[in-house]
Structure formats: C-alpha cells, structure tokens
Structure 1
C-alpha cells in the first residue's frame, strides 16, 4: 500500500491507497442545489417556481492513477477496484483533503475498465453524493443527561438519531420542540433525518404522537419528563456539500 501523504478517498471503509490508487487534481466539484420545479402555465409568461424544500444530490468525479507501471499489477487492481465500487446504496465517503467531514455516497454507474485505465493506469471514480456532509464530531453517539445541552456548531438545523431506553410514556423537549412518545416497551430509536421510528428493527410509528424534531443552530437544551428513560443521541451536524 502507498503512503498516506498522497490524496485519497475512503469509500465503504476501504481507502483508495489500499488499491495503489491516488486521486489527482481536476475533479468536478458541483455544489448541492435546491430542488425547484418550473411550472409552465398557459397564457402566462415565464414559469412558476415551486420550491420542494430539499436539496438535490450531486455528482462528483475524481480522476485517479494507479501507482504502478506493471501491466499485470494494474489488471489485478482493476478487479479489486470493481469489487470495491460494487457496494449497493449510500455508504460513507471520506476525502483526505476534507478530513473533518463524512460524506454519504453511492456508485450508480459501474466501474468500467477502459483502455485508458488498462494501458496507462488512469481513470475516474464517479459518485452520487448526498447533499449534506456531516461533521465527524457529530457522528459520535453521546449519552445525554436530563437538562443537558448540545451545541450545534453549523449554520444548519441538524436531524439527530435518538435512542431511548425505558418503558412507558415520555415527552422529550429540545428547546421549544416536543417529541411525544407513548406505550414504549423497552426502548425506541427515532431517526429524525430518515423519519423512522423503530425498536429492534421493527417499525413503531404508532408510538410517536408528535412531529419529528431537530437540533437548532447553536445551543440546544434537552430534557424529558420520565426519569425511567435514558437517552443517547447521534447529533448529525451537517453542512451543504
């Protein structure tokens, strides 16, 4: 494996350096854009813009080179790269030049072994990127004390994953928001980003009696009204890609 002072990407737990692959300059860096529909209306000039209040995913390409000039070695690495990039769905992506953040990325086009790759050891890694990248410090699960504080350092609201342990009814307050849960048996996981409520892998939406919640920018005071429960939170602090 080549040294870590070369630029690299780490996808689904594997670094490109482990495949003798370094990332070169010249990749495309499209920013996340709002999802806005343009509606044409008969008899009206121009279009009506409808904001869907979400960001679109972005496509990013990273040119790479295999650090070897041996034809047979490149052929082996091509096979390794194709296997590496065959993961289904969104996986964690880390960039060596943006080390404070974790991206969510998917490979939607197969890794094609072109003649350029085969002859010269060069090619392009193409990813579909989730429009939010996440601070690594916000991916660490924290045990919260009743009345405790989390500070969101970003300029965006964050949508935490919350794990409650306990039985009964409980209302959790985050600043002025209330998350109301009833008839819990043993525990519950509330994923406020993906809008899911589960316990031991089973959906439990019938335990949720309120809207989902978020962490405000800055200070968040968190409390709950039933001392039989304990709470852990993964904050998911993020910024726009």
Structure 2
C-alpha cells in the first residue's frame, strides 16, 4: 500500500504515513469554548457576562488504521509510535495535511486502547490536547520592517509576534509605535540585539540576558506587543534592524 497518497498528521518532525498509518474518515471539527463568568443579579432578567479574554484548549483526535510492516509486528510498531508521540510533555507543532497552511500547538497525552482482532492491522485513536489557536505557517516567516511601513494581519484575531531589533543607544529610551500605540524599551536595556517574544512574555539580549522588565512593562503594567487584525502601521526610533515574525493565528478547529 502506498501510504503517501493518504492524509497524514505531522508531529515532532515525523509523518504518520511514514509509520504505516492511514487516517480513517470521520475527523471531527472542534471549536474552542470562550471562558466566561455569568453572574445573576436580582431584578435583572439576563446575566452579567464577565469575559476572561481566553479560550479553552481543545482535543483533536485521529482515528487511524496501523498496518503491519514487513519483518515486524503490530506490538513493536505501536511501542515505537508511542515513543514518538508521548515522549514530549510540551506543546509542539502539529500539522494535519488536509489543512496544511496552519499548524496546531499540541501535546499527545491521552490513554488509548485498541482491540487486537487482526494480525495484519490495528484500529486505534490518538488524541492531542491543542491550544485554542492554530497558526498560519506563513506567519512564521520573518519580515524586515522599515520605519513608516505596515504589516497586514489577514486573520480576525490579534497576533503575539516575535520582534528582534538592534537598540542603538543606552542614554535614551527606544520606542516602537504600532497603529499609534506606544511600546517603550527603557534605556536600561542597553544597546545591542534584543528579542521580544510577546507570546511567552519574555525579552532577552544576545547571550540570553533577560531584559523583560525594561521592554514589556509600562505605567499600566504588563504590556505585550500585539498586531491587530487588518493594517498595522509601524514606526520606531532609537533602534534599527527591526524584524518581525508575526505569528498570524485563528481559532483552532
């Protein structure tokens, strides 16, 4: 059987069809649940909604048929697959070939069972816990940004980009403006290449020196850099060599 003709999932650098697995029909779509608190108030016929500004993780399951390899057996193959899928306890990129322009951030963790009814194949299901957003592959491409230029976010949700720049002075703050919103990198961060990872909330210099407190906090507190849906006008001062990895995202399905 030529497994390359069939859909596959790719996780931690390997594809399921490389391991004699064929995804069965019937993959389900799951939309994340918004995290909301509802409060009932006397005299009011509708609840007050408190939005926690987050979505819950989803579970994505792949039902597969595992076919016996020549000079092997199903049990050995299954042990090898378990070592591939279950060894990591961190979110890792997961791609499903049917919509390969996006990837999930997922971890395979759920127990699974399968009846050993046949010696030549085994039906089994693998479940991944996925973050609520899926990410565009082209959002991983780094862009060179000139002051006064723009980036267009093609998705309906804000993104949390990774930004790298060369801070050119240690005697004055550096400033990044996105759609008029100001992000200040304090002079105490010094000079040199700085990377701000808005997703993890960490800023660091070459060599790994953490400078987050000089880059991600303003008078209102923690202030990560975001790219809003649509056009984002970008300008800056006291920095150069600005590069942005936008990390466009949409709700996982």
1:63 matched residue in structure 2: 63
Number of equivalenced pairs: 239
CA distance in 1, matches of 2:42, 2:203: 44
List gaps (5 residues or longer) in structure 1: none
How far apart are 1:138 and its partner, in Å? 0.7
> Unaligned 5+ residue runs, structure 2?
none
- 2:193 corresponds to which residue? 187
Counterpart residue number, 2:208: 201
Q: What per-residue deviation string (whole Å, max 9, x for no partner) do you get for residues 19-52 of structure 1?
A: 1112111233221110123457899999654321
Mapped partners of 2:43, 2:194: distance in 1:
53
**CA positional deviation for 1:132:** 0.7
C-alpha RMSD over aligned residues: 2.6
TM-score, normalised to structure 2, is 0.84
- Mapping of residues 85-234 of structure 1, within 5 Å: 85-86=85-86, 87-110=88-111, 112=112, 114-116=114-116, 119=119, 120-168=121-169, 169-182=173-186, 183-185=188-190, 186-199=192-205, 200-208=207-215, 209-210=217-218, 211-226=223-238, 228-234=239-245
Moved more, 57-66 or 214-223: 214-223
1:45-84 Cα shifts (integer Å, max 9, x gaps): 9965432111111011110011337694322221211111
Q: 1:108 to 1:225 in 2, by over 3 A?
A: same
Q: Deviations over 1:71-129 (max 9, x none)?
A: 9432222121111112121000000100110111112225x463348754110010001
> Whole-Å Cα distance in 2 between the matches of residues 191 and 64 of structure 1?
36
1:219: how far off?
1.3
CA distance in 2 between counterparts of 1:161 and 1:124 reads 35
Task: State the partner residue of 1:22.
Answer: 22
Conserved? CA contact 1:117–1:123, under 8 Å? no
C-alpha distance in structure 2 between counterparts of 1:77 and 1:52, whole Å: 44
Q: What TM-score do the two structures reach when normalised by structure 1?
A: 0.87
Structure 1 residue 161 displacement after superposition: 0.8
How many Å separate the matches in 2 of 1:99 and 1:131?
A: 17
Secondary structure, in 3 states, of the residue corresponding to 2:99?
coil
